[in-house]
């Protein structure tokens, strides 16, 4: 029997819905033929180089110690350790209200996913804080790059330790009755996390033990080598410094890794690289030292620093849909390229692998099917308003909410799935669909497809195209053969 699902309901899951999803598949938001792609571009961190979660603990601990030693925060914070699985990517943080929360595609807070510190905030309080609604007005929401007047969206994987540190510090202050300025606290923690990156501390950890921190290196070599063998041009644009990228690529691909790339650009300062025309390219020598000559062409095998996309396009002529660029940050890596320059884009979403494995479990499938069936019953039977029917409807609504919570907790007890609120896509999902043609768990997923493969997105029904009951999609037919039995379940 499946946990939480009575055995008599198991027959409600039709045979056709049991096809398991493949965690190593590539999923399409937009039709794209790889045969039309001549040039492949890549980000480095969390795109070519996938990192172990051990890195999150190191970032958390170091930033926590910076707060204590340099910012003079209470030493009691030293008792807090990183909590794996506390936060998920794509959450919003309301600086003035000290609220970390998940918001859906329609700007509504998903109730039950608002946290102040390490403790959930009651739904009633969340609604009261936003003037009697769960809705966050558009002007408060994040701008194009996830930064709004009062809300910050955490979009990259490095932000997981930042969210956990933010929650831990707030938890300490609240528990000890210490007053704090929300803006200062948020800025201090952001600065401490930034120092871990900017001062090169994280780079040193990874360089010291690449076997432990870098994952799937052999698969990256296979992807790049196959593309080059099929006459594809490759380029790399990363914010990381050359010495760090060079050591990582030598570890994954080999000492001659640069021979695979037509262009390598480091310390690019994305997203400014894509929008600011002012910074010219600078050439680095083989040891990573800066050169002073004016750049009139981008040469194969050479390393360049900074620069901007407009000069890149002018010097290479690589425009439009013949270019496919992969990155993990929807804003910094992909948004401008798709919307302003017409490149095709691929999002790397490592969480996809875990989420698909959960979706493939019997517990998830049965929970979802019964939830859909209950939703259909509520919609169909709501016109019956006698006392007995009202009681049944209330019980169904309560059970539906219980199943929703159970389904959410399968992904993450605090915040649920990064892709979904109870029935809507998350704000993260909305941006994923908007800014990427295809998305996948890792670059290695490309190995499962021919270099000329065409990805066709599934035609998912709009609401007016769907059957009357959304749960009929689960049965794979327009009729619901068990409808009459379900009406009498109670």
**Binding-site residue ranges for GMP:** 45
Contact 26, 429 (CB under 8 A): no
| Residue 209 known to be catalytic | no
Angle, alpha carbons 164-166-172 (nearest 5°): 100
- Of residues 70, 83, 108, the one with CA closest to residue 166: 83
In sign, the C-alpha dihedral spanning 314, 320, 326, 327 is: positive
- Of residues 43, 16, 21, 4, the one with CA closest to residue 354: 21
First vs last C-alpha separation in the chain: 21
**Quick check: helix, strand or coil at residue 61?**
helix
**Residue 381 structure tokens:** 């039977």
Contact 440, 352 (CB under 8 A): yes
DSSP tag of 290? B
- List beta partners, residue 39: 233, 323
In the numeric block, the tokens 């909590």 are attached to 83
| Residue 45 known to be catalytic | yes
The Cα–Cα gap between 7 and 4 comes to: 9
Buried b (16+ CB within 10 A) or exposed e, 285-297: eeeeeeeeeebee
Q: What's the half-sphere exposure (Cβ side, CA atoms, 13 Å) at 63?
A: 33
- Of residues 174, 165, 107, 98, the one with CA closest to residue 134: 107
E-only strand ranges, 139-280: 151-153, 214-215, 233-237, 263-266
Largest CA distance in the chain: 84
**Residue 295 structure tokens:** 């750049």
Binding residues, by number, are 43, 45, 328
Which candidate in 43, 94, 104, 437 is catalytic? 43
Pairing between strand 27-28 and 438-440? antiparallel
**Residue 443 structure tokens:** 């670059």
Which candidate in 36, 45, 81, 246 is catalytic? 45
The set of residues, in sequence order, having a beta carbon less than 8 Å from that of 467 and lying 6+ positions away, is 461, 473, 478
The Cα–Cα gap between 28 and 26 comes to: 7
Residue 14: how many other CB atoms lie within 10 Å: 14
The Cα–Cα gap between 94 and 136 comes to: 10
Contact 283, 303 (CB under 8 A): yes
- Of residues 111, 113, 110, the one with CA closest to residue 124: 111
Catalytic residues: 43, 45
């Amino acid at each position: 029997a499946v946990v939480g699902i009575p055995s008599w309901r198991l027959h409600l899951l039709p045979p056709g819905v049991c096809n398991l999803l493949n965690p190593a598949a590539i999923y399409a938001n937009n039709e794209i033929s790889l045969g039309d792609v001549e040039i492949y571009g890549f980000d480095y961190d969390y795109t070519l180089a996938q990192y172990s979660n051990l890195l999150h603990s190191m970032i958390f601990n170091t930033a926590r110690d910076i707060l204590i030693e340099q910012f003079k925060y209470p030493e009691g914070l030293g008792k807090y350790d990183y909590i794996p699985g506390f936060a998920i990517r794509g959450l919003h943080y309301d600086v003035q209200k000290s609220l970390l929360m998940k918001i859906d595609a329609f700007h509504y807070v998903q109730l039950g996913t608002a946290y102040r510190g390490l403790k959930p905030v009651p739904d009633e309080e969340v609604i009261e804080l936003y003037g009697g609604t769960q809705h966050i007005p558009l002007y408060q929401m994040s701008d194009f790059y996830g930064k709004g007047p009062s809300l910050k969206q955490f979009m990259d994987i490095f932000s997981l330790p930042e969210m956990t540190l933010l929650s831990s510090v707030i938890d300490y202050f609240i528990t000890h009755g210490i007053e704090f300025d929300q803006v200062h606290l948020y800025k201090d923690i952001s600065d401490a996390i930034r120092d871990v990156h900017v001062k090169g501390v994280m780079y040193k950890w990874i360089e010291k033990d690449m076997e432990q921190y870098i994952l799937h290196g052999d698969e990256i070599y296979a992807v790049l080598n196959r593309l080059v063998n099929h006459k594809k041009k490759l380029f790399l644009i990363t914010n990381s410094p050359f010495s760090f990228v060079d050591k990582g690529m030598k570890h994954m691909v080999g000492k001659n890794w640069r021979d695979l790339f037509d262009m390598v650009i480091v310390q690019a300062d994305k997203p400014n690289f894509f929008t600011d025309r002012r910074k010219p390219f600078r050439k680095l020598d083989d040891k990573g030292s800066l050169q002073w000559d004016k750049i009139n062409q981008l040469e194969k095998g050479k390393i360049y620093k900074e620069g901007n996309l407009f000069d890149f396009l002018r010097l290479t002529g690589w425009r439009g849909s013949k270019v496919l660029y992969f990155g993990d940050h929807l804003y910094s890596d992909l948004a401008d390229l798709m919307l302003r320059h017409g490149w095709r884009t691929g999002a790397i979403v490592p969480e996809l692998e875990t989420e698909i494995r959960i979706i493939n479990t019997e517990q998830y499938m049965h929970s979802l099917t019964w939830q859909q069936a209950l939703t259909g019953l509520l919609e169909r039977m709501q016109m019956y308003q006698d006392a007995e029917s009202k009681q049944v409807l209330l019980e169904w609504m309560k059970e539906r909410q219980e199943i929703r919570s159970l389904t959410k907790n399968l992904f993450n007890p605090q915040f649920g799935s990064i892709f979904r609120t109870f029935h809507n896509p998350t704000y993260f999902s909305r941006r994923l669909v908007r800014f990427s043609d295809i998305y996948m768990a890792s670059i290695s997923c490309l190995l499962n497809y021919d270099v000329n493969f065409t990805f066709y997105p599934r035609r998912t029904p709009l609401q007016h195209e769907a059957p009357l009951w959304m749960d009929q999609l689960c049965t794979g037919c327009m009729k619901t053969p068990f409808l009459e039995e379900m009406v009498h379940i109670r």
